[in-house]
A and B are shown apart, each in its own frame.
Chain A
Amino acid sequence: MRKLSGILALALIIGASATAAFAAENASAAVTREALDALKASIAVGMDTVWVLFAAFLVFFMNLGFAMVESGLARAKNTVNILAKNFIVFAIASLSFYAIGWGLMFGNGNPFMGLEGLFFVNGADTSPAIGEAYKGAYSAISWTGVPLWAKFFFQLVFAGTAATIVSGAVAERIKFSSFIFFSFILVGIMYPLTGHWIWGGGWLASLGMFDFAGSTVVHSVGGWSALAGVLLLGPRLGKYRADGSVNPIYGHNMSLVTLGGLVLWFGWFGFNPGSTMAVGDGSAIAHVAVTTNTAAAAAILSSTFMSWVIQKKPDLSMIINGALAGLVAITAPCAFVSVGSSAIIGLVAGVLVVLAVMMFDRLKIDDPVGALSVHLVNGIFGTLAVGLFAQDKITGTATGSGLFFGGGLKLLASQAIGVVAVGAFTFVLALVVWYVIRLVMGMRVSREEEIAGLDLGEHGMKAYPDFQGFLTK
C-alpha cells in the first residue's frame, strides 16, 4: 500500500512539472502561423519518407519472392546456382545504380539521357524541396518531397527487380560469370537510359506516355533483355525431343514456388502503392492498393480457368504465373484506372500469360520460369492498357482519358510508341551485349556440366547434399 501511494505521488510530481514547463513555453513563444506551417511541412516530409522507405523495403522483399519462384521452378541440380544468381544480383544492382545508373536516369540532361550529377549520386540537390523550390541536378524526380537518399533507395530496388527478371529466363544453362557481367550493364546503363525517357523527364515523358510503377520501365525492360539472352543461349538440353515436340521439364519444388508467388504479391503492395512516393491524403495509396490486388485476383481466376480448359486440369504454376501476370499488367495503369477496369485488365492478363507460355514453348524459346510471359508480354499489355482504360485525374494525375473512356486514340498512341521504342532499343542493345559476352567470355556451360547440374559445375556444391541423387527423367 505504501509502495503504491509512493508511485502515485511520484507520477503527480512528474505530471505537474511537465504541465508547468509546457505552460512556460507557451507563454514565452507564441505559436505563429509560420511555426505551425514549418511543423506541418516537416511532419509531411517525415511521413512521406517513412512511406517511401517502407514501400522500398517491401520491394526489396520481392528478391525473396523471385529467388523462391525461380529456384522452385528449376531442377534440384541447379538450385544453388539460381539462388546464388538471385542473391548476388541485388548487390550488383546496388553498386552499379549508385555508381552511374541513378545519374543516367534522373540527372538533368537531354531527352535521351541524364548528364548532370552522373556519378555516385554526387549532383547538387536541395531535396526535400519540391517543384520550383528545388535546385539541383535531379529535377525530374523533384515532384516528391522526400530526401535524396529515400528517392535513390526507392529507385534502386526497382532497378534491382529488372535484373532479377533476367535470372529466371536464362536459368539452368547460363554461366554464372556471364550473368554477373550482363547484370552490371543492365542496371548501370540499359535500364537507366530507357528509364530516363519515361521517368527522368525524357522524350517519352514529354510525348505524354504514362507508366505509373513500371510495366515498361521495369518489367518490359527486364523481359526484352531476357528474351535476347534466351535467343542467344538456346533451349535447355532435353527441352525438345528429336521430332521437335516439347518435353516438359518440371520444377523441383512447387511449395517454394507458391510461397514465392505470395511473397511477390505482398511485395507488389510496395511496388505499386509506393510509387506515389508521397502519402498525401492517403486516397491515392488506397486506390492503387485496391487496383493492384483486384488485377492480381482477376488474373488468378482467369489463368486458372484457361489452364483448366486447355490443359484439362488447373496447373499450379499457371495459377501463380497468372497472379504475377495480373500484377505486372496493373503496374503501369494502377493509379490511372478505376477498380472495375483493373479487374478487366487482370482477367485479360491471366489469359495472356497462359497463351504466351504455350506460344514461347512452341517457338522453341525456352524460358524455365515463364518470365517472358509474365514480365514481357504483360508489361507490354499493361502499358497499352493505360491507353485503353485511363480515366483523367482519377487519382489526380492528368493523363487524359483512354480509348474506352472517350479520350480517343491519343493516349493509346503515346503508350504504343513507348512500348515500341523501349522494346526496340532494349532488345537490340541486349542482343549486342549478350553477343559480345558470348564472344569474349562464353555464355553457356558445357553439355556435361548442364547435364550434371550447374550447382556442381559452377559452385562445387549441392543444394540438397543429404538427399540421394535426383535422376532427370
Chain B
Amino acid sequence: MKLIIAVVQPEKLTDVKEALAAAKVGKMTVSSVIGCGAQGGYTESYRGVTTEVNLLDKARFEIAVNDDFVKPAIEAIIKGARTGKIGDGKIFVVPLEQCIRVRTGETGSEAIG
C-alpha cells in the first residue's frame, strides 16, 4: 500500500482527475494549498505597486492505492498535469502502514479497493 501525494497546478485539477478516472483510480482527497518550488512566483500589482507572490496556489492530491495501482496512478497524474513548463509540480510516494474503512472495519488492501 502506498500513499501518493501530488502537488500540481490548480488549473490542472480537472485534467488530472479525468486522467485518474481513465486509469481506474477513483478515490482521492484534494485540497487547495499554497506553496513554492522552482517556479518562483509571479508579480501582482496593487495601487501601482508591484508585489512578489512566491507562495502559489496549488492543488494537492492524496491518493491511497494498492501496489499494482502505483504506476498507473503516477502516469495518470503526469499525463494530466504536465505542460513542460516550470511549476508543473511534484509527486511523492510514501509507504502506507495501515488503512481502515470506517463503515465496515475492513483493513489493508480490502479497505483501499
List the interface of chain A (C-beta within 8 A of B). Answer: 238, 448, 451-452, 456, 460-462, 465, 468-473
Contacts and interface: CB of A to CB of B under 8 A. Distances in A.
Interface stretch (B6-14, B62-70, B94-102, B103-111): B6-14
B10 A471 contact: yes
B32 interface: yes
B29 interface: no
A472 B13 contact: yes
Nearest to B43: A460
Given A238-B14, A470-B32, A473-B13, 13 more contacts: A448-B11, A452-B11, A456-B44, A461-B46, A468-B33, A469-B32, A469-B34, A469-B57, A471-B30, A471-B32, A471-B59, A472-B10, A472-B13
Contacts, number: 35
B60 to A, nearest CB: 10
Given A460-B43, A461-B45, A462-B44, A468 B34 contact: yes
B89 to A, nearest CB: 14
Interface in B32-85: 32-34, 42-46, 57-59
B57 A460 contact: no
Nearest to A452: B11
Given A456-B44, A460-B45, A472 B57 contact: no
19 contacts: A451-B11, A452-B11, A456-B44, A460-B44, A461-B44, A462-B44, A465-B44, A468-B32, A468-B57, A469-B10, A469-B32, A469-B34, A469-B57, A471-B13, A471-B30, A471-B59, A472-B13, A472-B14, A473-B13
A159 to B, nearest CB: 31
Q: Which of B13, B42, B43, B57 has the most CB of A within 10 A?
A: B57
B42 to A, nearest CB: 8
Contacts of A468: 32-34, 57
Interface residues of B, number: 16
A62 to B, nearest CB: 28
B54 to A, nearest CB: 14
A273 to B, nearest CB: 41
A472 B57 CA distance: 12
A392 B32 CA distance: 62
Contacts of A472: 10-11, 13-14
A461 B51 CA distance: 10
B27 to A, nearest CB: 16
Contacts of B14: 238, 472
Contacts of B32: 468-471
A452 B57 CA distance: 10
Contacts of A462: 44
A250 to B, nearest CB: 15
B70 to A, nearest CB: 25
Q: Most A CB atoms within 10 A — which of B13, B42, B44, B59?
A: B44
Contacts of B43: 460
Interface in B1-37: 10-11, 13-14, 30, 32-34
B77 to A, nearest CB: 16
B102 to A, nearest CB: 24
Contacts of B13: 471-473
A461 B57 CA distance: 14
Nearest to B12: A451
A127 B99 CA distance: 83
A462 B13 CA distance: 20
Nearest to B42: A456
Nearest to A238: B14
